[in-house]
Structure 1
Amino acid sequence: MKKRNIILTISCIALLALFIWYADGSFDSYQKRILNLCAIYVILGLSMNLINGFTGLFSLGHAGFMAVGAYTTALLTMTPESKAATFFLEPIAAPLANITMPFFMALLLGGLLSAFVAFLIGAPTLRLKGDYLAIATLGFSEIIRIIFTNTQNITNGPLGLKSIPNFTNLWWSFGTMIFTLVVMIALINSSYGKAFKAIREDEIAAESMGINLFQHKVMSFVIGAFFAGIGGGLLGNLLGAINPMMFRFILTFNVLLIIVLGGMGSVTGTVISAFVVTSGLEYLRVLDESINLGFIKFEGIAGLRMVVFSTLLMIVVIFFRNGLMGTKEFGWDKFFNFFNRRPFSKKGVGQ
């Protein structure tokens, strides 16, 4: 049975690789942009779900970690010529002026620096609980954004960075998404993951069982921030230009929306929700434009897509209070058992 599941999983990854190869050669730039965003938001959703969903910490500082990863990756991949052209108000700091790294190294350093910042933030704040933790992490996220706005010779201040190399493609985004999925599933199924869930359910009971609350909270916070930095780096090199205003609270809210809609504490739900939300917001843009059906023409209303999308979200939340998946996960055994279920006999159970 286990061998069958491994073969099926590898087959699905192979089919995904085949789809990426086809999409990379056949889809237009707009469609590829949407697919890239879907994969990046899966990474961001999983990283936040580890903190908020599996560990039960109410953190709202994700945009700050994304900013650290995005700026670090961008600065380390930009050429000296593009840096000189971008920093025209004040020259870039000397150590960064001539440094150019491969994308993989820059992305990894962006994630590590985000994790380090999370450790510095988590040490004083993770002793707080509930709303107090949310306010503290949101405050630190804003502090990071304000620092980036005022460090002209490092981040180019409010002007942001332009001419960022577009290294992010379908292979990078989906490859990183698969890596993140594997790491998250392995972590959640390990003893550390069980400790995270125990803390989420009841901190007092978890501590009485010998679980070090502070150590495990910091671990979850740092790992989540690492992948948030990776996602931010991919996003920055996909867009080609970033500025501090991109990393306001609304960005954290978008990621929070994904994990709430998918299910707090569900990897499967996060993946499904990231694709549904990201692609849905894009394809509903047609509602903001005029629609001509031949026999009748509807004038577009600016903002109508957000009204429709919000209504759909409200309907989902009303009928699925724990999200689309709740805390459930997809499994091959569950998949086959669902189709192999036999209905009850008409004569009744046991007859």
Structure 2
Amino acid sequence: MMEANKTRNLFLSLIALTAIGVFLWWVPGNLDGYKIQILNLIAIYSILGLSLNLIYGITGMFSLGTAGFMCIGAYVSSLLILPEMQKDMIFILEPLNPVLYSAHAPFVVAVLAGGLVAALAGLLIGIPVLRLGGDYLGIATLGFAEIIRVVANNIPTITNGALGLKGIPPYANLWWNYGWMFFTLYVMYRLVNSNFGNALKAIRDDELAAKAMGIDTFRYRVISFTLGAFFAGIGGALMASLLTTIDPKMFMVIMTYNVLMVVVAGGLGSLTGSVIGATIVTILLEWLRIVENPITIGSLHIPGVPGMRMVIFAISLILIIIYRPDGVMGNREFSWNGLLGARKGGKSNG
């Protein structure tokens, strides 16, 4: 029976992946650029949500440093894929460092480089900072993210300062973004369902008990933090190529809050919840733009209110926290067994 279920689940998963592939192939010729952009953002925010969920939802470390790791990944990747002619055009106040001027790499290598440099930064900051816990860790990582942003604003020979980087090649299309998303989801799934993942959950639930069981909690926390930083750097690299322009103001604390909303809305500790949360948050943020534009209904004219979108979004998040504190998925995961079991239960109850 168990083997039959595994075969069935594998078959259903292959059908689902094929359907997604067909959909991604269909999208460019049938949807406008705005809808395609939203689909791309869903994939990138899913990666960012998964990275933060590993740190916060799985390991129990309250981190607010996601924007800093995104910033590192975005700048490293962008500098590696920018052609020399474009570098000449944008570095007008001070010339780019000669080493970076001649540096160039294929897109996939540049994205990996952005993730690896972000992971190195996560390791370096994690070793001293992860000795803290709770709110203190959140404050420390928030300070780290702000330091990264300020440094990026003040090293024009590397980042072009406040002017940022423009004309970044738009390699991050649907195939790349969703490919990286599924790669991230697969790695996280294998990680969370391994002995390593069980140790992370034990640390989250009761760190003292985990220490008593012989788990080197500090080492596991550092590894989890570094892996989360790696995937946040990947997300930042893809975001830079998707938007084709970046500057330090993009990576303010509001970016971290957006990713935190994804994790909270989807469910702490749920990988598939992060994907669902990214879909909800991205669509809601875009759909609510309508409230900031003037609306005319017959003879009634309602002026747009700047900033109202974030007010309504914040209220929506508060309602989710009040009425669904565990998020959409809680700490559960989507599974074919659960879906088919629920349908059978519903039919039998009817």
Q: Which TM-score band (shorter chain)?
A: over 0.9
Alpha-carbon distance in structure 1 between the residues aligned to 2:60 and 2:77: 30
2:69 paired with 1:65: yes
1:88 CA drift (Å): 0.9
**CA-to-partner distance for each residue in 1:212-267, whole Å, 9 max, x for gaps?**
11110011001101100000000001111111111111111110111111111111
Residue 310 (1) aligns with residue 314 (2): yes
Q: Is the 8 A contact 2:67 2:145 kept in 1?
A: yes
Equivalent residue in structure 2 for 1:226, among 224, 230, 240: 230
Which residue number in structure 1 is paired with residue 96 of structure 2? Answer: 92
1:82 is matched with which residue: 86, 90, 108? 86
Matched, 1:326 2:300: no
Distance in 1 of aligned mates of 2:43 and 2:273 = 14
Which residue in 2 is equivalent to 1:278?
Answer: 282
Instruction: Report the AA paired with residue 22 of structure 1.
Output: W
Aligned residues: 346
Give the TM-score taking structure 2 as reference length.
0.95
What is the rounded CA distance, in whole Å, between the counterparts of 1:304 and 1:137 in structure 2? Answer: 29
In the other structure, the counterpart of 2:168 is: 164
Please state how far the C-alpha of 1:303 moved relative to its aligned partner. Answer: 2.9
Deviations 1:250-297 (A, max 9, x none): 111110111111111111211111011111111121222233444654
Counterpart CA distance in 1 for 2:348 and 2:39 is: 43
How far apart are 1:321 and its partner, in Å?
1.3
Contact 2:261/2:317, CA 8 A, preserved across alignment = no
How far apart, CA to CA, are the structure 1 residues paired with 2:295 and 2:88?
A: 46
Query: Residue 31 of structure 1 aligns to which amino acid in structure 2?
Result: K
Where structure 2 has 5 or more consecutive residues not aligned to the other structure, the ranges are none
Identity, % of aligned positions: 49
Q: Aligned in 2, Cα 1:81/1:193: closer, same or farther, shift over 3 Å?
A: same
Select 1:131's aligned residue among 115, 135, 143.
135
Q: TM-score, normalised by structure 1?
A: 0.95
- Supply the RMSD in Å over aligned alpha carbons: 1.6
Q: 1:257 aligns with which of 254, 261, 284?
A: 261
The offset of 1:343, in angstroms, is 8.1
CA distance in 1, matches of 2:109, 2:15: 30
Instruction: Quote the residue 2:273 is aligned against.
Output: 269
Tell me the amino acid that sits aligned with residue 173 of structure 2.
N
1:264 aligns to what SS in structure 2? Answer: coil
Is the aligned partner of 1:117 residue 2:124? no
Instruction: Identify the residue that residue 242 of structure 1 maps to in structure 2.
Output: 246
**Counterpart code for 1:19:** F
Equivalent residue, structure 1, for 2:11: 7
Q: CA deviation at 1:127?
A: 1.0
Change (3 A) 1:92 1:310: same
Q: Which moved more, 1:290-299 or 1:50-59?
A: 290-299
- Structure 1, unmatched stretches of 5+, are 347-351
Once the 2 structures are TM-superposed, how far is the Cα of residue 89 of structure 1 from its aligned partner? 0.8
Partner of 1:206 in structure 2? 210
Which one of the candidate residues 154, 158, 168 is aligned to 1:154? Answer: 158
**One-letter amino acid of the counterpart of residue 169, structure 2:** P
Query: Offset at 1:159?
Result: 1.2
CA separation of 1:203 and 1:279: change in aligned 2, threshold 3 A: same
* Matched letter for residue 285 of structure 1: R
* 3-state SS of paired residue (2:166): coil
Query: What code does the residue aligned with 1:127 have?
Result: R
Asked if 1:301 corresponds to 2:293, the answer is no
1:35 aligned onto 2:39: yes
* Match runs of 1:162-201 below 5 Å: 162-201=166-205
How many angstroms does 1:148 deviate by?
1.1
In structure 2, do the counterparts of structure 1 residues 344 and 61 end up closer, same or farther at CA, with 3 Å as the change threshold? same
Tell me the alpha carbon deviations over residues 14-35 of structure 1, each in whole angstroms, 9 at most, x when there is no partner. 1111111111222111111111
The equivalent residue for 1:349 is none
Residue identity opposite 1:220 in structure 2: S
Q: Write out per-residue CA displacement over residues 12-63 of structure 1, whole angstroms, 9 at most, x where no aligned residue.
A: 1111111111112221111111111111000000000000110000111111
Pair 1:103-2:107 in alignment: yes
Deviates more, 1:303-312 or 1:117-126: 303-312
Instruction: Name the SS for the 1:324 alignment partner.
Output: coil
